[in-house]
Structure 1
């Protein structure tokens, strides 16, 4: 697949479409700054006051709808945001339709069998639908006046006439496809049609750009995949995503969440997640049969599941528990197995799940055609907050149906995929005007109001909205076209989606949105703090909890997420919940698992979990963090899975994680490493403190050379006698043993200026560091954030310290130099890489290192530590002379 061509097309197409929609709007007197007044020339003709453009007939009505839509959007945002979201929506509507038509014409799925964007004749620019227009069924559908216009335009032959003819034909093609794909090709009879502008003769246009993508990338008979739709969506969002990330400190708006959080999942990782959840559930059912002689791997191999990880060897008590669970699965009907992706994006996971379901049905003797319909009607479910993603997921599944059943598009089937709605179109006052025939009237009215109120936050929350106790049978019985015809379909869809959010599923799989708490807007932040306190730090972690709530206890859920939840202290409560479940297996990916989509360096992990706790369960873990790119990671994963053994394939007892402080998911460490935590920890002999953030370093910090020496204090007595400047530990590059004597900080009058900074956006003062027992005390310091190895340094008395130059102080009679020796050893480095894989060495990580006595260190380590301690002692004794020692090598 030529991803470079796909990327270039998607980015360029978006810019072209947005520019042309904007130009059309300007002619209509609509710009980012406002809406021009109109002059009514007569009953069927208006003039735009600002640019004197004239419009007549149906275009007047369409413009009025456009103005109404903008005003509706402005009620929920400002005029600029309303304008830009409308332009974006119209642009992606045409984008989605263009790539859908291209896919269908290449695979000969279009009803008239006429290419709409290209020609089957090599080198011919004019699309076949235009060449053969007068002989097509499409032409016969036009009324007589329109037919005359078409003939006149063909006779004219000018560039303007050609474009006018093509737009007329293209819109009719889209309207006709509404019969087969109603959720992608909605009937166009409003401002969307008025804002359409496309040309096949423009060498720099969208169609010309689309045709640069090799045709085989669309052709399923030549190995083309529906996956191309997902890549289109990914790359289309490139610039909107960059714009969100460049927003500064502003919170992410609800309309920006899709672009900011969407990340297309590489195909092999999708296969891993589906095969090890859906495939595993099916294999469990097979292995429950006492006559089954095949192993897990043999069954998986028969289906060609290359990324299926067989279970590790388990102790007898675990085997018995698993056997009981398999017996409970043995009588399930395949038609009853439900799989959901609650943040489906463009449907990549659902598409591969479709393929696996089809394999299972065919293995059970079902016909392919029948299986296709059952899968889309009963097995697969998907939700997303983004309309464009929903449309593409819907299209992808419909194309899978068409691939295996040539009559599928004529069956009017609706896959169970939806955009999560809001209820802006239905107010409570409108509901009061409607009489519903609920069997239980009171319950129905309460449930319906609850659902509509919950969906008010759907642009922010998406699938995080949940329901309990809603009687959907009662609701559906009371909704009919006779009673609520003026918003019947909208209300039905709201109820349908609400039911999916309450339903229980056998399998849940997703690549969730990634968004840290810092980016969450007020509504989203308040919700997650209340409902998901253990995982509130990031949306991906919140979805880990959400998937469990969607699941049947005997089912599985699979995800790919950032790996921060495995280690960081902010996710410790979440790990406590995870360790009450069972990690079946994991592929720890590290960075650049997504490199093929533009160099994403996010640290990720993919895993499969059971919501049931299996005591003494041994999980399988593939450690791919040390491999440099996605190609190597995939190759190594495949090799390890096929061979069943590798230096980077670990079988680990999950209960061991709870033996380590903070319960990190420490699958790769040795038994000795785990047992070392039976000793006391460094936290028993030192206390660590994070320093301050001034919020304005240019104002409050200086290099020591900039200040007269006699104005720098470096002791408690100087502090008390009114000195202004004090030495300041501020992290810095890798350096062991001696502190960085680079900066001084303004701490005059007990830090009065810093504390009273008028704009302390991130400034924070921890008074116990400076006014209490640790003020200006000797201790150890280190760089809290580094790109390399950890390094600790001795800090003599008289130093203030920064949030990135944290400090540790000895307790009781502990030897600070012995502790320094330990912290600078490879032993401590191993522990810190374990506790701080993100290389952000927090004060809480340091105190978790076991207190290893010097007599436990190897003979090679002891002399080195003693020598370093000696050097530090000699250096520290001459500290006061340092400020006058101009030629010191550390100056």
Structure 2
């Protein structure tokens, strides 16, 4: 697959489609500045607009209605977000609608999936004129006599693009019969704003059919996902640029900011080790398993663990293929669901099903998917339906609705219209349904903020479906807290022609179906969730997580770990790929404990370069498969691939870089860090030895809040203004000189040195610092000797000795211990670095990490002597370096 061509096309296509939409809107007097009026010479059934340079643009009666609908939608959105944002949302919506349909039709025509078997965008043999334009009446579509006349007129006048635009829209509407989830009945204004040509060699049709190879579309549904991700590239860049300006990610931008297309081999790993494991453990089948390249056999277990597993597998043995429910709650463009379909097809066939029946059953019984993004839903729906079509040519005509939905909001549903629902139901049942529907609508308010993490209560789903299905404009529902006899007179109703019941019914049906999916349990949950730190979230989303997801609130990926555990049936499987920070960072300790309460069957520590870079940043990831059951002393299998720098290297070492680790061992490490790669000896050290924090005190120092005001290099200041002898608490009130020596981290240097700064610390500046920054913490340790290190390091840990007389910075935290020489030697040892490599997976060596390392005081005398010697050598080296500076003094005070 030529991803460069796909990427270049998708990015270009979004911009081109947006330009085309803006251009067509301008022709009818609508711009990002406002809505213009038609010229005075307009008449009924014909509106004329001034487009500049003494040129005009005309629209007829049907187009006038389409323009009125566009204006209505603009005004409605304007009330919510302002006019410019409303106009932008329309442009984006229309552009992606046509993009999705164009690539769907291209996929279908290349794979000969269109009902007519006729190409819509191209022709065989490299002809420029599409087959649909050459032979429209062979397409199988029904044309009225006026339409036939128009087609003949366009052909006579050689108006090829006008004919093509008409036929393309006609084809999209016709495909609504078999693919309603993607080819919905087109909003009138979407049709009005379409600007399309096949003759323009710089247009989107020509680029789509010429810039991307047909081979990339043939049976490769994966291309849909790549096109979707690349289409969002610039929107994602804009979103991250806004973050740098401290503008939080809004619900409209969540999909672009968080969507990542999952590499195929990782999808296979997740599906094979969740759905595949569920089936194989209950129905052993070597022929099936041999085709699953990324399936990991279970590690050897102790006898009592193996016995418990056998009891669990008895549950799996009674499962039939149609019993298995699999969900991807963050389905994106459907890549995971497509491979789930493939594995389910293999399972069905192993049980004697033919492909046609299996495909239909999978669609009806097995697959579930949700996403926050309407665009992603459309493409996931299309990808799944194309996979079904691959095995069953007739299924598209059977009108089976897959269990796939975009999360919808209830905000715009007029609840007064609920009085028309539930016609013919008994009064009590109708009132129960009314109350439950209202509660459900409350839950789905602002649902685009939350997506699949919505918490759904208990509902009678069959009752709600009945209530929504039975609609009668003559119906009336009495207040839910009163039992009215059905014979009571009915109040005046809204004029029937103004009641949009079909639209409201459709929306509520989707909310009911989505709510049911969110409330039920699954045999396998497989997903690549969004990654978004709480610091980048909107206030509304942040508050929701604090209330509903206390364990997973720090990032959306950890939120989905918590939610997916809820989604999963007991003894069933969860498989995900997330950022790897939950393995070790202290802020994920609670979610880590939740995971350790169940089983980590296996885990693939991917590290960097498993994905493309996001906004210039390398994403560090981990894929894993969990089983929702608790077995003490379970041995998990762990593949460590962080040392490999490319996707191909990681794939080639996937099954050879393996560790077996008893899950109970993680309880011996501070914060339950998932340090699966360490030896039994190191586990025992963590378990049996005291920590550094038990025998010493590690402190963070000053953060001035304004370094430019308070700090200077020592060579910028007259030496007489620096207090070099301060060594007790009496000096703390600033009664001495203006400056005192200041320790502030600095470059990588061990043993001694980085004595570069001084800080203003007389009485006046002391008072300022006391009320700014972090308010002079750890004052009892000012001027005391100790061991300091760099809080941030891109390489190894480096510790240095500091004499009496220094104050220390937040970037130069300090440890205080009664034998500084030994602690310094220990800190700079390979042994200590080994412990830090477990505790500090990142750039920070903070006072939250260092005290958690085990403290070993073996060979204390020898280590102390060695450290003292190294201090002297390093001091000589630093003093020589310091005196070699030939700076002119610049007294700044």
TM-score, length-normalised on structure 2? 0.90
1:788 counterpart residue number: 795
Cα distance change of structure 1 residues 135 and 500 upon mapping to structure 2, 3 Å threshold:
closer
In 2: Cα distance, 1:887 partner to 1:491 partner: 75
In 1: Cα distance, 2:770 partner to 2:198 partner: 64
1:406 counterpart residue number: 393
Equivalent positions of 1:98-117 (< 5 A) are 98-117=102-121
In 2: Cα distance, 1:9 partner to 1:676 partner: 56
Once the two structures are TM-superposed, the CA of residue 376 in structure 1 deviates from its matched residue by 0.7
1:310 counterpart residue number: 297
Once the two structures are TM-superposed, the CA of residue 792 in structure 1 deviates from its matched residue by 1.2
* 3-state SS of paired residue (2:644): coil
* 3-state SS of paired residue (1:75): helix
Once the two structures are TM-superposed, the CA of residue 271 in structure 1 deviates from its matched residue by 0.5
* Pairing partner for 1:172 from 170, 173, 197: 170
Select between 322-331 and 340-349 the one with higher mean Cα deviation. 322-331
In 2: Cα distance, 1:596 partner to 1:634 partner: 18
Cα distance change of structure 1 residues 887 and 253 upon mapping to structure 2, 3 Å threshold:
closer
1:760 counterpart residue number: none
* 3-state SS of paired residue (2:848): helix
- Contact 1:739–1:781 (8 Å) recurs in 2: no
Residues matched between the structures, number: 845
Equivalent positions of 1:539-688 (< 5 A) are 539-595=556-612, 601-637=618-654, 640=655, 646=656, 648-677=657-686, 678-688=688-698
Cα distance change of structure 1 residues 54 and 370 upon mapping to structure 2, 3 Å threshold:
same
Select between 171-180 and 780-789 the one with higher mean Cα deviation. 780-789
1:761 counterpart residue number: none
* 3-state SS of paired residue (1:321): helix
In 2: Cα distance, 1:207 partner to 1:50 partner: 26
* 3-state SS of paired residue (2:197): coil
- Contact 2:702–2:777 (8 Å) recurs in 1: no
Q: Indicate whether 1:370 and 2:374 are aligned.
A: no
- Contact 1:709–1:883 (8 Å) recurs in 2: no
In 2: Cα distance, 1:87 partner to 1:113 partner: 32
- Contact 1:780–1:820 (8 Å) recurs in 2: yes
Q: Indicate whether 1:143 and 2:144 are aligned.
A: yes
Cα distance change of structure 1 residues 598 and 216 upon mapping to structure 2, 3 Å threshold:
farther
Equivalent positions of 1:741-752 (< 5 A) are 741-747=755-761, 749-752=764-767
1:422 counterpart residue number: 409
1:132 counterpart residue number: 135
2:319 counterpart residue number: 332
In 1: Cα distance, 2:581 partner to 2:69 partner: 48
1:383 counterpart residue number: 370
Once the two structures are TM-superposed, the CA of residue 875 in structure 1 deviates from its matched residue by 6.6
- Contact 1:682–1:851 (8 Å) recurs in 2: yes
In 1: Cα distance, 2:268 partner to 2:616 partner: 21
Q: Indicate whether 1:96 and 2:100 are aligned.
A: yes
Q: Indicate whether 1:459 and 2:428 are aligned.
A: no
In 2: Cα distance, 1:423 partner to 1:755 partner: 51
Equivalent positions of 1:461-860 (< 5 A) are 461-483=450-472, 485-486=501-502, 487-595=504-612, 601-637=618-654, 640=655, 646=656, 648-677=657-686, 678-714=688-724, 715=726, 716=728, 719=732, 720-721=734-735, 723-747=737-761, 749-753=764-768, 764-769=773-778, 772-810=779-817, 814-855=818-859
- Contact 2:272–2:295 (8 Å) recurs in 1: yes
In 2: Cα distance, 1:868 partner to 1:654 partner: 38
Once the two structures are TM-superposed, the CA of residue 550 in structure 1 deviates from its matched residue by 0.5
Once the two structures are TM-superposed, the CA of residue 599 in structure 1 deviates from its matched residue by 7.2
Once the two structures are TM-superposed, the CA of residue 832 in structure 1 deviates from its matched residue by 1.0
Once the two structures are TM-superposed, the CA of residue 431 in structure 1 deviates from its matched residue by 3.3
Once the two structures are TM-superposed, the CA of residue 30 in structure 1 deviates from its matched residue by 2.4
* 3-state SS of paired residue (1:184): coil
Cα distance change of structure 1 residues 706 and 142 upon mapping to structure 2, 3 Å threshold:
farther
In 1: Cα distance, 2:343 partner to 2:249 partner: 37
In 2: Cα distance, 1:55 partner to 1:887 partner: 79
1:347 counterpart residue number: 334
1:200 counterpart residue number: 198
Once the two structures are TM-superposed, the CA of residue 657 in structure 1 deviates from its matched residue by 0.3
In 2: Cα distance, 1:697 partner to 1:65 partner: 58
- Contact 1:575–1:663 (8 Å) recurs in 2: yes
Q: CA RMSD in A?
A: 2.5
Cα distance change of structure 1 residues 413 and 751 upon mapping to structure 2, 3 Å threshold:
farther
In 2: Cα distance, 1:747 partner to 1:391 partner: 63
Q: Indicate whether 1:258 and 2:262 are aligned.
A: no
In 2: Cα distance, 1:547 partner to 1:324 partner: 24
Cα distance change of structure 1 residues 21 and 58 upon mapping to structure 2, 3 Å threshold:
same
1:232 counterpart residue number: 227
* 3-state SS of paired residue (2:712): strand
2:497 counterpart residue number: none
Cα distance change of structure 1 residues 427 and 601 upon mapping to structure 2, 3 Å threshold:
same
* 3-state SS of paired residue (2:295): coil
Cα distance change of structure 1 residues 572 and 142 upon mapping to structure 2, 3 Å threshold:
same
Cα distance change of structure 1 residues 539 and 747 upon mapping to structure 2, 3 Å threshold:
farther
* Pairing partner for 2:306 from 307, 310, 319: 319
1:20 counterpart residue number: 20
* 1:325-362 Cα distance to aligned partner (Å, 9 max, x none): 11122222221110000000001110000000010111
* 3-state SS of paired residue (1:84): helix
Cα distance change of structure 1 residues 393 and 884 upon mapping to structure 2, 3 Å threshold:
closer
* 3-state SS of paired residue (2:834): helix
- Contact 1:45–1:57 (8 Å) recurs in 2: yes
* 3-state SS of paired residue (1:558): strand
- Contact 1:175–1:186 (8 Å) recurs in 2: yes
- Contact 2:298–2:601 (8 Å) recurs in 1: yes
* 1:2-34 Cα distance to aligned partner (Å, 9 max, x none): 111111111111111111111122223222233
* 1:633-682 Cα distance to aligned partner (Å, 9 max, x none): 01111xx2xxxxx3x20111000000011110011100110111211111
Structure 1: gaps (5+ residues): 288-293, 641-645, 758-763
Once the two structures are TM-superposed, the CA of residue 366 in structure 1 deviates from its matched residue by 1.1
- Contact 2:524–2:574 (8 Å) recurs in 1: yes
In 2: Cα distance, 1:459 partner to 1:44 partner: 39
Cα distance change of structure 1 residues 768 and 226 upon mapping to structure 2, 3 Å threshold:
same
Cα distance change of structure 1 residues 724 and 45 upon mapping to structure 2, 3 Å threshold:
farther
2:79 counterpart residue number: 75
